[in-house]
Amino acid sequence: MNKDTDSPIHISSKFLRSVNLESDYGRPDCLDNYILQSSTQNLVNTLNTHIATSSQRAFTITGPYGGGKSSLALLIASLVSKDKALKAKAFDLLKQSDEGINAAWKSSNGWSVLPIVGKRESVEESIAHALSQQTNTKIDKANPSLIIAELIKQAEKYPEEGVLVIIDELGKFLEYATTNEGDIYFYQLLAEAASRCKGKLVVLGILHQSFEQYASKLGKSAQEEWSKIQGRWLDLPLVSATDETVELVGKAIQIKGLPKTQKKVDKLFEVVANSVQRRRPNLSKNF
């Protein structure tokens, strides 16, 4: 990339910043410049439907690096924010009726959100730490049953609200479990607790690949166990279509101050774009 400050081409700064769920959640500007793609909208609609019409409460969102999973996690967390302005911004971004979202995320005062980012430690430890900060009580990280019991307690404490546990970089916790003899069974207990809870307890994990792929170096029986446990979680793939990626790249590349050939270049772009649009009528009007 040309680093010359006089270059007419540069990458918009909003595309250069990565998202950190723990530090960015709740910031007034955390959703600024968010670009909603059709694939993302469809995934959220599917998630809403399951939460509103079934007992499924444990989900994973799986997709490639740089596919916008962390930004999507931030958007979903904002849907139930106690900050009404942030919540309204999230609702507006999703371009669907408030009633449609409320069927899944209904709340008067906002949910309790536990934003967690994967680390080289047990997932129980991170959840216990987040819970301790949320409730101002000490949670024993060595006792998985107490951690789950506390999550259920918080979810049932305010039946009109709920508890949303979002674990970004869940793969780091899974990798830790494979190398440190971690108890993968906790993930099954967590998923089952969420589905049986009388309150609203939703758990959402962000992954780059499936559960069992993280267990590829383990024995066959261990891999089968991991696969069985993943069956308690509903996986929602997030993969952008090629057209969406082209449009996103187009928004990232900023051009200004081009020489006199600008009009000729614009005309060429227009001819190409119109040609593609005629062959693919479902393309965005902004293509």
Q: Using one digit for the tens of pLDDT, what is the confidence trace for 93-140?
A: 887 655 668 889 988 889 999 999 999 899 999 999 999 999 888 888
Q: What is the DSSP string of 135-166?
A: HTS---TT-HHHHHHHHHHHHHHSTTS-EEEE
Per the prediction, the chain carries an average pLDDT of: 85
- φ/ψ region of 153 (left if φ > 0, alpha if ψ in -120 to 50, else beta) reads alpha
pTM of the full structure: 0.83
Hey, what amino acid is at 154? Q
For residue 242, name the pLDDT band (cuts at 50, 70, 90): low
Task: Give the Cα separation of 55 and 109 in Å (integer).
Answer: 23
DSSP run (H or E) holding 115: strand 112-117
DSSP run (H or E) holding 113: strand 112-117
For residue 1, name the pLDDT band (cuts at 50, 70, 90): very low
Residue 175 vs residue 250, higher pLDDT: 175
Phi, psi of 6 (to 5 degrees): -90, 0
By C-alpha distance, which of 285, 188, 192 is closest to 243? 285
Q: Using one digit for the tens of pLDDT, what is the confidence trace for 250-284?
A: 766 777 766 666 677 778 878 888 888 888 776 76
